[in-house]
Amino acid sequence: MNHDVGRVGKTWQLAIVAVFVLTASSARALDSDSLRLLLLGAQDMNTPQTLMRADIAIALETYKGRRTTRAIAFFAPGKDARWYFQLEDPALAALVRGAERKVMQRSDGSIKTAAIGEPIADLGISYEDLSRFIADDFKLWQIADESTDTVLAGAHPQVESAYVYRAYTFDKTRTIPLKVQFYAKTLNNMVKMRLDSDHVLVGKKWFPGTIEEQNFPDNSKATLSIRWSQAATAPPELLAPESFAAASPVPWTSPAPAATTSPKP
């Protein structure tokens, strides 16, 4: 009899623990309004308040082997989501007009206008991959998974895009994406994965010190080591479509952070 009472008591204890776990999980889970606030927070965190400069060391791992290069980028505040990118090797410069989903690219002495999904030389990365996160560029947001600290949510682009779906893993406290999975053509075709880490606080916003992006079709990986500067100065013609074509490149005077590659197995 005492054994039966003990079993009943233990069953009740387990039931009470289960209720507490379910209650805690329900309290922690994001509803649609909370997800919307998280997305807007991520958008705000990704929007510069002043002109931001990024000095970037790039380490590439491709089927051709390993090499390094460097880049300079300027990210402008404002709704245009406009930014400038300059690569040393191969030499090119680009004005990305994020809101218009267009890129003006200058290389080999010529200018061409391309979609924002245009690849950046042989980096295995497109301009779209590095452009500002804007919540309303996507529709049908859904939560796929959630933990205490992160939430995995995905959506379909409703603007011009090289992708049909993106899945973001967000840090719920800092409202920043830690991982982005890019799907092209179909929902089961993940073509790229971006990982952001080593975040630094610039003013009141978190920016990644390291971006790693794998391109699965190309069997390549690019690691970007970034040093950020706020309230930067840049020739205004770099960020203006009417003057970009004649603008001079930015001098390579500021050393980029050291590029790192994964050790060989």
pLDDT of 13 above 50: no
Number of C-beta neighbours around residue 73 at 10 A: 21
Count CB-CB contacts under 10 A for residue 117.
16
The Cβ-side half-sphere exposure at 158, using a 13 Å CA radius, reads 10
Which letter, b or e, does each residue of 74-106 get, where b requires 16 or more Cβ atoms within 10 Å of its Cβ?
bbbeeeebbbbbbbbeeebbbbbbbeebbbbbb
* Mean pLDDT calculated for residue range 164-170: 98
What is the reported pLDDT for 52? 96
Q: What is the pLDDT of residues 66-92, one digit of tens each?
A: 999 999 999 999 999 999 999 999 999
pLDDT digits (tens, 9 = 90+) for 203-244: 999 999 999 999 999 999 999 999 999 999 999 999 999 999
How much of the chain exceeds pLDDT 70, in percent? 85
pLDDT in tens, 236-253: 999 999 999 999 999 997
Domain annotation for the chain: domains and CATH numbers:
32-244 (2.50.20.10)
Closest CA to 250 of 49, 82, 102, 53: 53
Above pLDDT 90, what percent of the chain?
82
Strands 138-146 and 200-202: unpaired
